[in-house]
Each structure stands twice: as structure tokens, then as C-alpha cells.
Amino acid sequence: MTHNLFQNIYKHPLIGAQELQEIQKAHQPIAFRKGDFILRKDEIARGYLILQRGVARAFVYDYEGNDITTDFFCEGEIIVQELSLFKHLPSAENIQALTDCEGWHIDYDRFQELYHSLKGYSEWGRLFMTEKLFEA
């Protein structure tokens, strides 16, 4: 199942079996219990994760203290706060596990190494960020 998860996430014509294996090795297993914060507001994201099991949500608080959901993350999706990760800015959002969650984390430094050494990974990353921009 794990290999299929990585195949689905990193699906790109320039990512072959060897590149996919290197990308997969760069990820570390991670788990969160229901209610745990994956990222808190004002923290700086140090990586991103692929959610293998569970559901999480991103949210902010409005001026009256009400929480406003900004995104949901389900199995087979990437949990990332892009501005915080790539600009090293404090996150404007909280990301919290709604259920027990398991996934695969890659830290920023390892991501950068792969991004600059694997053409397929850098092309995949550009497409991923383009999709996120259109979503926004």
C-alpha cells in the first residue's frame, strides 16, 4: 500500500522507478492522535507530509474567536502550509488531526536536496504548486 501511495502522489512522467524509490526513502513515518496539532498558528513549517490514514483540517480564528475551516486533508493527500514552508514564515493556520492519522513526512532540507538533484521531482513540485495556486 505504501508504494502505491507514493506512486499516486508523485505521479509524473519524469519520475521513474529509481527516482520514486529515492523519494520514498526520503520520507519518514509519522503519526498523530485525534486532536493533535500537525502545525500550530505562528509555527514555521519544517516539511510536509503525505497522509496515509486519517483526516485533518486547517483552520484560522476570526476576530470574534470563531474557528473557520480553510481546508480538509484526507488519505492520499499532501498536508502542507506552503507559505510557511517555502518562505519560512509563521503559519497563519492551524492544522489539526480530526482522527488518528498516519503518514510520511519529508523535511524541508531533504526536499530541497531532491528538488535540485531529481529533474522529475522538481517538475512534479512545480506542477503541484501550480495546482495549489489555482485552488487558492
Model confidence band, residue 1 (pLDDT cutoffs 50, 70, 90): low
Check residue 69 and give its pLDDT. 97
Q: Is the pTM of this model over 0.85?
A: yes
Res. 136: pLDDT tops 70: no
Measure the CA–CA gap between 82 and 66, rounded to whole angstroms.
23
Each residue of 9-60: pLDDT tens digit? 999 999 999 999 999 999 999 999 999 999 999 999 999 999 999 999 999 9
Check residue 130 and give its pLDDT. 83
Distances (CA, A) of 39 to 5, 78, 96: 22, 13, 7
